[in-house]
Structure 1
Amino acid sequence: MTHEAKDVLRDAHSLLRAARELLVDHRQALSDVHEALAPLRREAAREQLGSIPIARLKDVTDGRLRLGPLEEAGFTSVGDVLDATPYRLQLLPGIGPQTARQLHAAAGSLAEAAERSAGVRIDVDRRDEAMTPVVVALHRLVNAGPELPRAHAAADSVDGRLGPLVRDARPAGAWWRRVFARPSRRERAREAIGELAEALGQEEGRSTRLLLSQASVDLLRPHVSPDEAWIDFELRASDYQTLLAELAALGPEREAAEGFLPGDLAARVKAQPLDDGFRRVSLRGYQSFGARFALVQRRVILGDEMGLGKTIQAIAAIAHLRARGETRFLVACPASVLINWVREIETRSTISAHPLHGPGRGKALEKWAAEGGIAVTTLATLHTLDVPGDVKLGMFVVDEAHYAKNHETRRSRAVAHWCRRTNHVLFLTGTPMENRVEEFRSLVAHLRPEVAEKVRPSDAAMGAQAFRSAVAPVYLRRNQRDVLVELPEVVHVDELEEFSRADKAAYRDAVAEGNFMAMRRAAYAVPKKSAKLDRLRELVVEAAENDLKVVIFSYFRDVLATVQDAIGVAARGPISGDVPPARRQEIVDAFTAAPGHAVLLAQIQAGGVGLNLQAASVVIICEPQVKPTMETQAVARAHRMGQVRTVQVHRLLTPGGVDARMLEILQAKTRLFDEYARRSDLAERTPDAVDISEQALARRIVAEEQERLGT
């Protein structure tokens, strides 16, 4: 018994020490961030105080201070009072030493409050001695990876559970402690040893020791150089901004983040736990709320504006249900986003993804039914799924759910069938439902018919917030402008679109001819059957529904002409190399002045340089570019001073062809460009110095593709 007790105590001490060391390391990493934030908070607070009138000083002192002498002396803001010393204040007529001290102290208390509430954002264009330490400090936490929150929670749990047990079990570990302990103490020690052994077994099953060890190693890495930190920030800005929003308590207004739901419903949603055991991504506050809403209300529409992460919220809800014992889930989406769904599931969760699409659909369906996971199929093929009736579904997710609005279509009937088989149903759509009540009523009828019957056109007539309040049991929507503080300044989305049969045939012909330029635009060769064009149309329609302006870039004029025909709207442009500078500016001015949604077409080598396009908040790049500088400069046209919305950059890519090969080869060049061109005035004036030769790239890719396709 003594040896066994010693072994148990030794293992418990070891695990407890590892947990407490991780907690200390994590606190230190957080402390480093807050220390780096302090100067920026002070700076933001001082700027804020400069706009606060001195009348606010009366609020701090319950109106006891006379402010007339300050106003007569030209003081207008609290910042003016704070900048003056008490000695200078008492030199003013009508202000004695005591009043001067009180005035300065009141200004100081407002400054402290301003610092506590000051929001801080990372400005990629401001790489000075105040901003850079924040990025360096955040780098350590961001690069500790998605397992850090789990490791921290596990360390907290181990500390809380094992700490008291180790203390109670101490007499069992040495004969002299047993001798001097009271009988009741010895009995408790024996019980504690048993409880410790059980707890250690459970933690071993969860691989807790390995989880803690890896997290500690990551947190103890030395700080990287400023350049390396900034490069990493540019590659993963979303992760940095999300973490900063969490640590700096920077968030949107509570009601906006909660979609203006009634208070009692919002309280129930916030009380809902959200298990992250199968999730590998941190959520922003409003995203966590959205996932909880789906779990609490069970059958809902999540209508967040495009770019706010509806997919991640759906995955978070699924991960929670998986942790609670559900094993099978189904996602139905347009074919154009199926690959993106599979990729998001694989990178954002530890749940297996099963694409039910293409020739191997039958075997994939059998594997999913037998093993579980998340099946992803298209809305067009949903009706063909032959799933045994005894297969229980944990959640059914429909992306771009507005496609199921017409109950007479085969697609809508298939959606209705799966809704009946499932308790948890989540519809995703970026279309603002308050603008189309009949469509909303049709979708709700799939979920909760009794609620659909109560929806009236007059609900929408009262305004967006009134509509959302009226349909709160089934509908949650947040807009970018409401939750913008938690968003990165630029959201990059790679839209992976598999070749259609027609695309593939055109691509093979181009490869056989050794025509690199034809290979790059093969995805647009047959417009009526182009997968990329289908996705581009969807992006433009969704932007139109949300009143967003769109800029579409391509290297090729004929691709832009094809896009113009495909989107079916009066797009401005195209801006091309032969359009005189004055005319280019006229086109841009008309685009900027247009009310609401508008589309501008531009050749990337022409429209990507020298023009300000900050009216646009959606950028679509039709194909990857040979020179990394081209895409960077094109995005910079929209993401620049004066831009008030998050810029969404959608790059249309085809896996398995020239797009994928270009990206693989250019990846190393892009990193060099990040390290050199963005930090060198000379390099920015001559970006070709670090770009790969187009001829060399073309020869290499053509040869490799000819070999791969046997042409």
Structure 2
Amino acid sequence: MLRLLLPPNLEAAIPRDAIAIRVELDLLPGDRPGPTPASPPSQSGGSATGLGPAAAGNRNAGTAPGDLPENLLPGLALLQRLGVKPQPASLIQLTRPQLRELITALAGQPVFFYGTLPEVPLAWHGTELSGVSELLNAAPPPNVRNTNIRPAASPGPTAANVRNTNIGRAPAPAGESGSPLLIDGSEHFLAVMLPARGSVHYDAVLEFLREHRFVLDPLNRKWWLRDRHRVLNLLATHGRRLREDFGAEFTDNFKRNTARLREAEASAEVSESPDGYDVSLGLNAGRATETQVREAVASGRGYVEDGQAIYLIDQSRLEKIQAAHRKLAGDPTGTGSAVRQHRISKARAAEVNDLLEELAPHFQAPETWRRRSAALRNLTSLPPAPVPAALDAILRPYQKLGVAWLWHLYRQEVGGILADEMGLGKTLQALALVAAARAANTRAVLPAFASVSRSQNRGQTPAGEHAGTVPHLVVCPASLVENWRREAARFAPELKVFVHHGTRRLAGRDFAAHDLVLTSYGTLARDTVLFESVEFDLILADEAQHLKNRRTQAAQSLRALRGRGRFLLTGTPLENSLDDLRSLFEFLMPGFLAKVPPSLKRDERSWHDAQLRTQTAPYILRRTKAAVAPELPEKIEQTIWCEPTPAQAALYRRMQEDSERELLDLAAQGSSEGNLRFAVFTQLLRLRQICCDPRLVPSARNAAAADSAKLDAFRELLAESIDEGHRMLVFSQFTALLGLLREELDAQGVPCCYLDGSLTPKARQAAVDKFQNDAAIPVFLISLKAGGTGLNLTGADIVVHFDPWWNPAAEAQATDRAHRIGQTKVVTSYKLICSGTVEEKVLALQDTKRALLADVFEASDEAAASLSLADLRELLK
């Protein structure tokens, strides 16, 4: 299997001719041949690597020659010439011509991927690679003319790489004539013959020789450098430049005389410790000691001797090692050193693994390290989570990947952020993780980051810690607690769920009787002492943007919790600045990120920010609807359950009681059936208005906006929608409610369009055109009666039904204002439902008594509706 991962900054890298590509190669057992004399030498001076056709044709006995796919052989041969070795992963840096040749060799093969989407191969259009060939064709001409294929990071002219004339020579570029730059000498001197005056390199080489104080001998016309220290330093610092930029050839005499020269390579070792890993990174210079290497680097000497060989220290490689030390230490001001050890957390395995693989070609990581880091870089390699079969059958493929990713982090005792775009089912994936943890019957063990809390209670049994039973916890905004309860009952009915909210509260040891405890951020803050006494298995925080201010009581209370796995759900992990992300990771993995000094220079701040992005990337999973579009229906429909606020619930109950009394009084007075029907319709209207916002009811005009559970849920939807760049249509049957929503939007500074039945046809069309043509307007408020049909509003991809339209066909028509011809995005429709109210009853009866409901809510003449009073009064209960 062959995979070529392109960098996310491809567009910027192409003009610089510095295109870093990760090569992932999974050779079959038969693809690892022994020595193949018939194969040409590789550019590193060794024998053929066994990647190309020559290797395929010179198998050891007993090896099937067909193990390598024939359609990949041209590409594998080219990769061999580029210096790729038969190992699972390596990095190469290509120029534009090299990448073009690689694309040509592998035309039509699904082996190219972006590193940020490693599971989705790039598409081919004939021989053109989608999105890549266009960039290559549009890029300006390269600055360096020599485009012959070479390894991207090959060493200078040492004995290891100049013994073969094909390696010491870089053929002259097309169109260049005359003799090449020729270098003779030893470790004590260099004698350089300039290229022909017609060479494109002549002026640059002459300037280079003068800059480094070569002396011209007029008798033999050679430029001489006769100082061992200066010669070795120049070969260490500029050897690669002489060969690659100037097309230098090295004489056989030079190769014999420099047989003792070697290239000092980066070396890395990792060992596991109880609270992380010990990482040692340095330069491998044969038998030279660490002290000798340090002294050479400190003195500016570009080489070190071990008694048998001379190891050249490439300054650019040394700078990369020193930069790696700064990254590992989290200190941008450190000078770094050639050899140094670091203690890192387990959570940094993936980030540091990539760093070490790039620097140290022979890096061998421990098994636990490889298991932690490899899966995070390639989601397709993750084993599935043990989700119960019934729930697993519901999950879409991308959701199964998400659950597998969460499960992997949980098993490794690290945290993560599920940051999928709204509408992709973050709640469902989180519940699948909880169900998998319960099914696996995993006993929670406190990770290192909770050891402090445990040590403070040594000798005591935490309140929630019963043998073999550890509950899971979900913390979310109060407006979403009921929605979590409903989703858990629907998708994971085997879970014992308790809602710790309102008047229903648990005592410490009672937690162990439940699989899943749901609570709100406000309740958590009020019951901090109680929750701190309980050891949880999984802790999941929904709508995690509530934690971005680390000073809030909610954030502080959440950080004080103890749990094995900590996860955040949010569609917007980064809203204002990277400090938001730092605050989130203080909860997820305390101590994972280095502390940032309060006063920093701009370049130091930029360094810390870049470090933050690199370190946190493996622990944030975000998929957009566009990325997973093949797995999605054209329209996603979701119901958001809203638990009425205490004031809202009290008003609703009072209205129910008044309605019942009024109906009894009317019946006792002998009122006609028409009057009774009218009374029922009036009371149903009032109850529906209370569900939306108590301020709609005349008797509750003085109610506060905070009394509406739906308004709270709408605020959450609105914030996430705007942050993700979506645009929404909001439908309601009540124009008074639309007015309240417009006031809310104005208070937040959110521009909107408005449409109700009072608008003239001209004004109506003007509102539609304004929304369609101005992408800066994220919300369109629409009266269902006035705008439910006849509009084309494909500029929106989110539809919110604030108060449900009881005829599903009419509701679908409203949603189809956005979901229609011309829409290029997946449309998500949200229906807000107040639990335990007339809205829930009607929703449950929607299929079985659809005709009845249509009569109740759509009959133009209520008195003529053919419904029994028993049916009507049932809706009021």
Q: Same fold (TM over 0.5)?
A: yes
User: Structure 2 residue aligned with 1:345, among 483, 488, 499?
Assistant: 488
From 728, 732, 735, the equivalent of 1:554 is 732
| Counterpart for residue 621 of structure 1 | 801
CA deviation after TM superposition for structure 1 residue 385, in Å: 5.7
Deviation at 1:507, TM superposition (A): 2.8
The superposition leaves residues 659-689 of structure 1 with CA deviations (integer Å, 9 ceiling, x where unpaired) of 123223432255999xxx9xxxxxxxxx979
Q: Counterparts of 1:628 and 1:698 in 2: how far apart (Å)?
A: 23
Q: 1:486 to 1:269 in 2, by over 3 A?
A: closer
For residues 223-622 of structure 1, the aligned pairs below 5 Å read 265-267=376-378, 270-277=381-388, 280-282=391-393, 283-297=395-409, 298-326=414-442, 327-349=470-492, 350-362=494-506, 367=510, 369-383=511-525, 384=527, 387=530, 391-418=534-561, 421-433=562-574, 436-453=577-594, 471-508=616-653, 510-511=655-656, 512=658, 514=679, 515=682, 516-523=684-691, 524=693, 525=695, 526=703, 527-567=705-745, 568-596=748-776, 598-622=778-802
Post-superposition offset of 1:602: 0.5
Please state whether the residue corresponding to 1:517 is helix, strand or coil: helix
Quickly say closer, same or farther: Cα 1:601–1:461, change in 2 above 3 A. farther
Letter in 1 for 2:490: T
Q: Helix, strand or coil for the counterpart of 1:644?
A: coil
**8 Å Cα contact 2:498-2:514 kept in structure 1:** no
Higher relative contact order (CA 8 A, sep 6+): 1
- 1:592 CA displacement: 1.6
Q: Deviations over 1:184-224 (max 9, x none)?
A: xxxxxxxxxxxxxxxxxxxxxxxxxxxxxxxxxxxxxxxxx
- For residues 327-364 of structure 1, the C-alpha deviation after alignment (integer angstroms, 9 at most, x for no partner) is 4100001111111111222222222211112222237x
Question: Which amino acid in the other structure matches residue 427 of structure 1?
Answer: L
Q: Distance in 2 between matches of 1:690 and 1:458?
A: 69
Give the C-alpha shift of residue 536 in structure 1: 0.7
Question: Distance between the aligned counterparts of 1:698 and 1:471, measured in 2?
Answer: 62
Give the TM-score normalised by structure 2: 0.45
Separation in 1, partners of 2:605, 2:498 = 39
Deviation at 1:400, TM superposition (A): 0.6
Q: How does 1:114-125 map to 2 (within 5 A)?
A: none
Q: What amino acid maps onto 2:405 in structure 1?
A: F
CA offset at residue 553 of structure 1?
Answer: 0.4
CA shift at 1:401, angstroms?
1.0
Q: Counterpart amino acid of 2:473?
A: L
Q: Does 1:647 align with 2:827?
A: yes
Deviation at 1:292, TM superposition (A): 2.4
**1:280 partner amino acid:** L
Structure with a larger share of its residues in helix: 1
Residue 300 of structure 1 aligns with an amino acid whose one-letter code is: G
Give the Cα–Cα distance (whole angstroms) in 2 for the partners of residues 389 and 503 of structure 1.
Answer: 31
Question: Are the aligned partners of 2:800 and 2:831 in contact in 1 as well (CA < 8 Å)?
Answer: yes
Distance 1:672 1:484, change over 3 A: farther
Structure 1 position 651, deviation (Å): 1.1
Q: Quick one: structure 1 residues 505 and 458, their matched pair in 2 at CA, closer, same or farther if it must change by over 3 Å?
A: farther
Whole-angstrom distance in 2 between the partners of 1:290 and 1:487: 15
Instruction: Measure the CA separation in 1 of the matches of 2:424 and 2:630.
Output: 12
| Separation in structure 2 between the aligned mates of residue 700 and residue 635 of structure 1, nearest angstrom | 33
- Partner secondary structure for residue 452 of structure 1: coil
1:698 to partner: Cα distance: 11
2:498 aligned partner, one-letter code: H
Q: Does structure 2 conserve the Cα–Cα contact (< 8 Å) formed by 1:564 and 1:571?
A: no
Instruction: Give the aligned partner of residue 212 of structure 1.
Output: none
- Measured in 1, the distance between the counterparts of 2:543 and 2:403 equals 17
8 Å CA contact 1:397–1:426 kept in 2: the answer is: yes
Match of 1:17?
none
Whether contact under 8 Å (1:459, 1:467) holds in the other structure is: no
- The aligned counterpart of 2:874 is 704
Q: 1:264 to 1:328 in 2, by over 3 A?
A: closer
Deviation at 1:396, TM superposition (A): 0.4
SS in 1 for 2:716: helix
The one-letter amino acid of 1:649's match is S
Q: Residues 336 and 273 from structure 1, CA distance in 2 versus in 1: closer, same or farther, beyond 3 angstroms?
A: same
Distance 1:598 1:267, change over 3 A: closer
Task: Measure, in 2, the Cα distance between the counterparts of 1:586 and 1:592.
Answer: 10
Equivalent position SS for 1:540: helix
Asked if the contact 2:801–2:831 (Cα under 8 Å) also holds between the matched residues in 1, the reply is yes
Question: Which digits, 9 at most, give the CA deviation of each residue in 1:468-526, with x for residues without a partner?
Answer: 65522322212121112212222211111122133234434544255332221113123
CA drift of 1:288 comes to: 2.1
Structure 2 residue aligned with 1:164: none
| Superposed displacement of residue 588, structure 1 | 1.4
Pairs aligned (count): 438
Q: Distance in 2 between matches of 1:694 and 1:366?
A: 59
Deviations 1:92-147 (A, max 9, x none): xxxxxxxxxxxxxxxxx99xxxxxx9x9xxxxxxxxxxxxxxxxxxxxxxxxxxxx
Report Cα offsets for 1:232-288 as digits up to 9, x if no partner: xxxxxxxxxxxxxxxxxxxxxxxxxxxxx9966334773344112376243223222
Summarize the Cα distance change of 1:502–1:295 in structure 2 as closer, same or farther, 3 Å threshold.
same
Report sequence identity in percent: 30
- Structure 1 pair 374–314 and aligned structure 2 pair: CA distance change class (3 A): same
Q: Deviations over 1:286-316 (max 9, x none)?
A: 2222222223332111111111111122122
Where 2:427 maps in the other structure, the secondary structure is helix
Higher strand fraction: Structure 1 or Structure 2?
2
Task: Kindly report the root-mean-square deviation, in angstroms, between the aligned alpha carbons of the 2 structures.
Answer: 4.0
8 Å Cα contact 1:275/1:320 also seen in 2: yes
Question: 1:605 touches 1:630 (CA, 8 Å); kept in 2?
Answer: no
Distance 2:579 2:838 in 1: 44
Query: Residues 703 and 546 (structure 1 numbering): CA distance in 2 closer, same or farther, change over 3 Å?
Result: same
- Which residue identity lines up with residue 441 of structure 1 in the other structure? R
For 2:783 and 2:390, locate their aligned partners in 1 and report how far apart those are by CA, in whole Å.
40
**TM-score, normalized by length of structure 1?**
0.55
Does the CA contact (< 8 Å) of 2:473 and 2:540 recur in 1?
Answer: yes
Residue aligning to 1:663: 843
Question: Relative to structure 2, which stretch is displaced further, 688-697 or 428-437?
Answer: 688-697
Rg (Cα) greater in structure: 2
Work out whether residues 278 and 319 of structure 1, in 8 Å CA contact, stay in contact via their aligned partners in 2. no
Do the aligned partners of residues 557 and 599 (structure 1) sit closer, same or farther apart at CA in structure 2, a change above 3 Å counting?
A: same
Name the SS for the 2:617 alignment partner: coil
Using the alignment, how far apart are the partners of 1:279 and 1:333 within structure 2?
Answer: 26
